[in-house]
Amino acid sequence: MQYLDLIYQSWDELAEINLYTGIFVLDEPVQIEDKSPMNNQVNNQVNNQVNNQVNNLMNKQFVRNQTTGEK
């Protein structure tokens, strides 16, 4: 039963990953790309900000894991 629960948890987590990644089970809708230069500029700006934030946080987490040995 515990084994079944672990298998279920792995599928459930995969469903979460699909949700956060935007992977559809059926018929992925057509993505409309916005080609306007203004939007691209805004996107790049936001992307850079987010990447920096995520990298900083992950670096901190990595340091903490190394220190505490926690997974």
* Residues near other proteins, by CB under 8 A: 1-27, 29, 31-32, 34, 36, 38-39, 42-43, 46-47, 49-50, 53-54, 57-58, 71
Q: How far apart are CA 57 and CA 64, in angstroms?
A: 11
Nearer to other proteins, 46 or 63 (CB): 46
Residue 48 amino acid letter = N
Residue 58 amino acid letter = M
CB 55 within 8 A of CB 48: no
| 1: three-class secondary structure by DSSP | coil
Nearer to other proteins, 21 or 66 (CB): 21
CB of 66 to other proteins, least distance (A): 15
Nearer to other proteins, 17 or 67 (CB): 17
